Amino acid sequence: MATRFPLLLFCLPEKNLRIVLEQMRFLDLLAFSLCSKITKAHTTQLKRNIKYIALDASSGVSIRLQLPDREQINLDVKTDRFDRCNLNFWEIANVTYRQPTRGYQQARYEQEFCWKKNGFGLRDWIDHTMEIFNLPVIDQFYLSGTVLSLADTRQIGEALNGLKVTSMDFWCYTEDRVYNIRRNLETVGLIFAHPDSEHFSKLSTQKILSENQTSVLHRSPDFALMAEMRYFVDEASYACITLNDLLVSNCTKLIITDSTLKSEELNIFLKHWINGSIQTCEFLKLETSVRTQWNMETVLKGVAHKTASKVKDGAPGARDMFIIPRIDLPNLSLTYIPYDGRYSVLTIDARCG
């Protein structure tokens, strides 16, 4: 890969070389850094920053780099060896560079390359990219379980051992796939959308939520969009979060879109939270598109509370706010935003008391 650059470039005084490198595009700088240990060191010293790094594990594994000015670099890592499962020899990266064209919102200038770095594996590509751009964490890891086998997720999880990930997004997930990826990673937040109904037990959600999580977003899939993409799923198989799931949850922050929890179930959960049975959760947010899903009188039945504020339904910013005291613990703040034509929102916050 060193032949991409004039040999005279390496003969420049260090100060002049730095000036040249500072003017390089990110794509050329990435290619330059792969030439040798010396070029990697020069690149790292520049401390050039990118906006975002993500990993996408679908049919293979892609490294996505979001650059300033909406530029993008994608590295689709693979191998040309017979043993395709050995991630230590994924030496090839199909590189795609995209840059928005001025004056045309959707138009893009695009280039494609194929790079090969002898001796590199999947983890080497990731580590190299993070080191030269001084990235401490992976911003997002996206996993689609519809293509990758259980064995694939196990090997990917082992290859990523020790990486820190801000958010992991699982699509068509199973308990085992989630475990295989998460067990070796330091993860801050999880996002779930549509479980693999053929390999997902009723207790799978509870097992996932009972692990020590910082933040979990349980997202309702867009069934209409999936139908347009000819990816048909059974809406009835969508794993909604139940009361029992909430009671065993070990999440600090939990957000549930399209919640099916009833007012009576929220009342039971709230009483558990007040008496100290719910120790980990600090924030719960529920959304529903059903107009009559929740009744605050039922939710707060038998619960001591004070009305902090109340805005009449239909008025701009309509919401009800309640303060719920707890013995020897911070108060709970419950906020209910009535149906606004799209959805209702209910939040319970233990961080404000």
Instruction: Give me 170's structure tokens.
Output: 């699982």
User: How far from 121 is each of 78, 118, 182, CA to CA, in Å?
Assistant: 9, 9, 20
Q: Is residue 78 part of a domain?
A: no
Helix/strand/coil (H/E/C) assignment for every residue in 285-303: EEEECCCCCCCHHHHCCCC
For the four alpha carbons of 130, 131, 132 and 133, in that order, the dihedral sign comes to positive
Q: Residue 264: phi, psi to the nearest 5?
A: -65, -40
Count, residues in the chain: 353
Q: Return all residues near 303 (Cβ < 8 A) that are at least 6 apart.
A: 267, 270, 271, 274, 324
CB atoms within 10 A of CB 138: 24
Contact call for residues 169 and 85 (beta carbons, < 8 A) = no
Instruction: Give me 328's structure tokens.
Output: 């020897």
User: How far from 75 is each of 22, 51, 63, CA to CA, in Å?
Assistant: 22, 16, 5
Element (H, E) at 77: strand 72-78
pLDDT by position in tens, the chain (length 353): 444 555 667 778 888 888 888 898 999 999 999 988 988 999 999 999 899 999 998 778 899 999 988 889 999 998 776 556 667 778 888 999 888 766 555 556 788 889 999 889 999 999 999 999 999 999 999 987 667 777 888 888 888 899 999 988 888 777 788 888 888 888 778 888 766 666 667 677 888 888 777 888 887 655 444 444 444 444 444 567 889 999 988 889 999 988 989 999 999 999 999 988 888 899 999 998 887 789 999 999 999 999 887 655 555 556 889 999 988 788 999 999 887 778 899 999 998 75
SS3 13: coil
Any idea which residue has 């199909």 for tokens?
Answer: 94
Q: Is residue 156 part of a domain?
A: no
Cα distance from N-terminal residue to C-terminal residue, the chain: 59
Q: Is residue 41 part of a domain?
A: no
Q: Is residue 269 part of a domain?
A: yes
Domain count, the chain: 1
Instruction: Give me 340's structure tokens.
Output: 């606004």
Q: What is the DSSP string of 139-186?
A: EEEEEETTTS-HHHHHHHHHHTTT-EEEEEEEEEE-HHHHHHHHTTSE
Q: Residue 115: phi, psi to the nearest 5?
A: -105, 145
CATH number at residue 277: 3.30.160
pTM: 0.80
Q: Is residue 109 part of a domain?
A: no
Q: Return all residues near 93 (Cβ < 8 A) that are at least 6 apart.
A: 63, 75, 76, 77, 78, 114, 115, 116, 117, 125
Q: Is residue 249 part of a domain?
A: no
Q: Is residue 350 part of a domain?
A: yes
Q: Is residue 197 part of a domain?
A: no
| Residue 285 belongs to domain spanning | 258-353
C-alpha span between 55 and 293 (Å, rounded)? 37
C-alpha span between 171 and 143 (Å, rounded)? 6
